[in-house]
Structure 1
Amino acid sequence: MPVSLSLAMIVKNEAQVLGRILSQVKHLCDELVIVDTGSTDGTQALAESFGARVFCFEWIDDFAAARNHAFSHCSSDWILWLDADDLINESHQQKLLDLKHSGLNAEIDAVICSYQIAFDGQGECLISMPRERLLRRAAGGSWQFPIHEAFVLPDEARVLNRLDIAVEHHKPAQYVERSSDRNLKMLMRLIEQGDQSPRNWYYYGKELRQHNRPEEAIEAFQQHLRLNQTEPISQYQALHLAMLCCMELHRYPEALSLGYQAIQINGSRAEALLNLGIIHYRHQDFNIAIPLLNAATTCQKPDAGLIVEEDYSWKPYHYLSLCYEGLGQPANAIEAALKAYPDIPDKQVIRENIICFAGKLK
């Protein structure tokens, strides 16, 4: 039996994109709840034209507060949250509709879906992360953290993983710089006020790295690690991101140290294994690189944290092929290159490498 479903969304000056997502989910939802934080471009009228109930909320530099306000106006059994610049393609709309009709009940409190946040020129996903996407209203929980907010469920919550359902985030180009600067300024203000939240220091490091400030980012990640004693996922990701910053600065011994610390925390993820292998490959330590890269090829895509798709597909095989070529093992190099070929965007590179490797076969 189908449950009722509310859409909850917070917006500000989203007239350029709002109609796209509302047209995609209107048939899925029994009510559309839009909280506007100060639009001046006709966003409210556009939302109302789709039958949405629009509520105003004074912006207080707190995304969690705005989202909680939106949730407070929802009356359905379940709540689907989205951003105005998200989209859901037809096949995933159908999966959500099927889930609504037969997969949601009082035995489940939340549904985790894939959130795809970066794409290549052909529209293929480059980066994704699991996110709580559908939430049972009666189960409780709330949005927390003013920036990079997250929905915190009760400890006993029962969660259904449906990573086969994806929401795509397509931010218009002119929005990217605006939101990026906003996020960095919000986090800087919190840090300057003496904030000691491990989560905020982690995201502060990410924003600094995105703003090409790797040395400051490393310091922020190190502060996160000093403060975070209980969350291995963010410990791993902070170590790996600090490792990437050190690679960008050509501080390879420090990068290696951070990478090996990361795989001590979690050796079942591909990212640190891959980049350790890349560093050793660049230093022609092929016999050290190959076991690390082979280990990366065996890693299954995780159900938590940020996921760079290439780390779990073609990239470890590509560097394996280069390592085998460096050891004078062209047959192994060709075998690894062929495994990279189906997923690598630039197939010409692999074709040229295979021709080169084949020329060295006895």
Structure 2
Amino acid sequence: MITKLPISVCMIVKNEEECVARCVRSLKSVVNEINVVDTGSTDRTIAIAIEEEVKIHHYQWNDNFSEARNYAMSVATQPYILIMDADETLDHTTLKSLEQYIKSSSNEPATVTIRSVINDQTIVNSRLTRLFPNCLDYQYHGMIHEQLTYKGKPIEIVQNTNVVIHHAGYQENEIQKKNKIDRNLELLRKQQQLEPNSCYLNFQIGQTLYVNRNYEEAIQTFDETLQMASELDSLPPYISTIFLSYGYCLLKTAQFNILDNLINDAIEFYPDFTDLYFLYGVSLIERKEIQKFAEIKEIFEYCLYLGEVANPSYESVEGVGSYRALYNLGVYYDVMNNKEEAHRCYSKSAEYQFKPALAKIQSYK
């Protein structure tokens, strides 16, 4: 058992009875303090938090996530703060990295990897700044998709840790249950009225429309956002995500020529972003053009060559540089009637317990 770390976990909750205990139990043996700030639960969330013996605070919800976060931070007593949501759990296999950050007595904030499960088979890895010194100079800004600031300015220097947090809230049933999309859009548009020229808010609106499958509206929003970004002195780190989400919107609407141009532009900026090549490979399968068919093998082999995304600024779908690319190569060889190579690719993909590959292996028996 490790010595508890001098960290205050700060989370804001509302009607999280199904997940708050799981979150707290992943933290209790690790950190000195857990602050649960309730914003108006009507279920058993508070009762469960009491059972788990954490510190409970109450905050009157005012449609502003930043103000609720900042209140949660104001009651923290430990030297460091870790921001968590109730639908997240701390991965104990990465605790050594958390200990190393604390032992370094760092004055800099740090990123963690958020590993989001989306509809069972898709896992998206993204890096967010969630760990930082307990200092009043750190405050959140924005009604929703709040950003951490230092002395009122965006944070520019961060450490990248290997800490992993598992997130379950992007599964479709959870999104629908909490009416997340409608709420998010409403708050984003409220914030946009205050900051009409915010490239970041435009990006988040586009992402929300994309998640809600409003592809045409998302395409228009992403296009506007890229135009806004082109006028900035430097490209913000989320631009790589815009290219990817924009590309998937074009894929979903079968706008392949525009997609090809977009990917070519994106690769100029992000030549090591495996997801872009994977997206192009999927588009080659979808468009069913004989003259493009040979490219499928080349693209997914290149995805394997690049491997999983290493750049911490990229938001990436897990497997694009490994088991997903292998599976799609298996599909290619299946179509080519090369059963031996298809089986080899499916078998390698199945080593990652990828369910579609496991099903293919079963079909060979």
Pick the TM interval, shorter chain. Answer: 0.7 to 0.9
Q: RMSD of aligned C-alpha atoms? A: 3.3
Q: How does 1:282-361 map to 2 (within 5 A)?
A: 282-284=288-290, 285-299=292-306, 300-302=308-310, 303-323=312-332, 336-343=345-352, 344-347=354-357, 350-351=360-361
Unaligned 5+ segments in structure 1 are 356-362
Structure 2 vs 1, CA of residues 331 and 201 (structure 1 numbering), >3 Å: closer, same or farther? Answer: same
The aligned residue for residue 360 of structure 1 is none
Question: Is 1:239 matched with 2:246?
Answer: no
**How far off its partner does 1:170 sit?**
4.7
The aligned residue for residue 32 of structure 1 is 34
Greater displacement, 169-178 / 204-213: 169-178
The aligned residue for residue 11 of structure 2 is 9
Contact 2:35 2:54 in 1 (8 A): yes
Query: Could you tell me which amino acid in structure 2 is paired with residue 220 of structure 1?
Result: T
- The SS at the match of 1:245 is helix
Structure 2 vs 1, CA of residues 336 and 40 (structure 1 numbering), >3 Å: closer, same or farther? Answer: closer
Question: Is 1:149 matched with 2:155?
Answer: no
Per-residue deviation, residues 119-166 of structure 1 (Å, max 9, x unmatched):
565xx7622222233222249432222211232457574514214x33
**How far off its partner does 1:6 sit?**
1.0
- The SS at the match of 2:127 is strand
Contact 2:117 2:171 in 1 (8 A): no
Contact 2:9 2:33 in 1 (8 A): yes
Equivalent-residue separation in structure 1 for 2:279 and 2:101 (angstroms): 43
Q: How does 1:1-362 map to 2 (within 5 A)?
A: 3-88=5-90, 92-93=91-92, 95-96=94-95, 99-100=98-99, 103-107=102-106, 109-118=108-117, 121=120, 126-138=123-135, 140-152=137-149, 157-163=157-163, 165-170=164-169, 175-177=174-176, 178-191=179-192, 195-229=196-230, 230-231=234-235, 233-281=237-285, 282-284=288-290, 285-299=292-306, 300-302=308-310, 303-323=312-332, 336-343=345-352, 344-347=354-357, 350-351=360-361
Equivalent-residue separation in structure 1 for 2:94 and 2:334 (angstroms): 45
- The percent of aligned pairs where both chains have the same amino acid is 20
Equivalent-residue separation in structure 2 for 1:98 and 1:212 (angstroms): 37
Equivalent-residue separation in structure 2 for 1:267 and 1:156 (angstroms): 23
Equivalent-residue separation in structure 1 for 2:257 and 2:81 (angstroms): 48
- The SS at the match of 1:25 is coil
Equivalent-residue separation in structure 1 for 2:4 and 2:20 (angstroms): 26
The aligned residue for residue 359 of structure 1 is none
Greater displacement, 56-65 / 135-144: 135-144
TM-score where L is the length of structure 2: 0.81
**How far off its partner does 1:218 sit?**
0.2
Structure 2 vs 1, CA of residues 116 and 286 (structure 1 numbering), >3 Å: closer, same or farther? Answer: same
How many pairs are equivalent?
349
Equivalent-residue separation in structure 2 for 1:208 and 1:325 (angstroms): 35
TM-score where L is the length of structure 1: 0.82
Structure 2 vs 1, CA of residues 12 and 280 (structure 1 numbering), >3 Å: closer, same or farther? Answer: closer
